[in-house]
Amino acid sequence: MKTDLNVKKLLCPMPVIRLGELIEKIAVGDTIEMLASDPGVLHDIPAWCKVHGHKVLNIEEKTDEIVLIVEKIG
């Protein structure tokens, strides 16, 4: 199951905090499609996932947003 998370216009550390809050509410194997505008997420989200044992499946940089797909692992 895919859950959407819009963190556009939020600056670090809020995108990471919102991801952490939401990932607790989804099942293992589910994904979160995260829409962000802060370029800091390009480093922060993969680093957070590595520390917490989750997986970034895809990162796509578009003109006005960054789309990240994160899978909840274990």
Instruction: Please answer whether residues 74 and 53 qualify as being in contact, where contact means their C-beta atoms are separated by less than 8 angstroms.
Output: yes
12 given a catalytic annotation: yes
Residue from 5, 10, 12, 56 carrying the catalytic annotation? 12
Residue in 38, 3, 63, 59 with CA at minimum distance from that of residue 16: 38
Residue in 5, 14, 7 with CA at minimum distance from that of residue 48: 14
The catalytic residues are 12
